[in-house]
Amino acid sequence: MRIMFQVLAVLAAQASFGQSRPVPTGPDLDDLYARVSESAYVVKGRVLDYKGVGKRFSLAPQETGWTPTGRTVNIEEEKGGILFTVATGETVCRQSDFAVAPSESPSSPGLVHIFVPRGEPSVQSRFDSHRRVFSEYLRVGKDYLLFLRRDPRQAELASTYQLDPGLTYYRTYEGDRGAVQLPDAANPEGPYAFITPLVSAVTTFCDAVKARDVETKIRQLDAVKSHSTDPAWRQSVDAAINALQQAQTNAPQK
Residuewise pLDDT in 10s, the chain (254 residues): 433 333 333 334 344 334 345 677 899 999 999 999 999 999 999 999 999 998 654 544 444 454 555 555 555 456 899 999 999 999 999 999 999 876 666 677 899 999 999 999 999 999 999 999 999 999 999 999 999 999 999 999 999 999 999 999 999 999 999 999 999 999 999 999 999 999 999 999 999 999 989 999 999 999 999 999 999 999 999 999 999 999 988 877 65
* CA pair distance 76, 78, nearest whole angstrom: 6
pLDDT of residue 215: 95
pLDDT of residue 20: 44
Do 179 and 149 meet the contact criterion of CB atoms below 8 Å apart? no
pLDDT of residue 56: 54
Enumerate residues 6+ apart whose C-beta is below 8 A from 122. 132, 133, 134, 135, 175
**Domain contains 199:** yes
Q: Which of 172, 221, 193, 196 is closest to 43 using CA atoms?
A: 172
**Domain contains 185:** yes
Q: Which of 22, 83, 11, 100 is closest to 48 using CA atoms?
A: 83
* CA pair distance 139, 152, nearest whole angstrom: 24
**Domain contains 169:** yes
End-to-end CA distance of the chain: 74
pLDDT of residue 155: 95
Question: What is the count of structural domains for the chain?
Answer: 1
Residue 210 belongs to domain spanning: 27-248
Do 208 and 223 meet the contact criterion of CB atoms below 8 Å apart? yes
**Domain contains 1:** no
pLDDT of residue 251: 73
pLDDT of residue 79: 81
pLDDT of residue 72: 54
**Domain contains 137:** yes
**Domain contains 91:** yes
Contacts 24+ apart (CB under 8 A), 189-195: 192/23, 192/24, 193/24, 194/24, 194/26, 194/27, 194/28, 195/27, 195/145
**Domain contains 34:** yes
pLDDT of residue 70: 53
What is this structure's pTM?
0.82
Burial class (CB in 10 A: 0-12, 13-18, 19+), 253: exposed
pLDDT of residue 15: 41
* CA pair distance 245, 239, nearest whole angstrom: 10
Do 151 and 157 meet the contact criterion of CB atoms below 8 Å apart? yes
pLDDT of residue 5: 36
**Domain contains 200:** yes
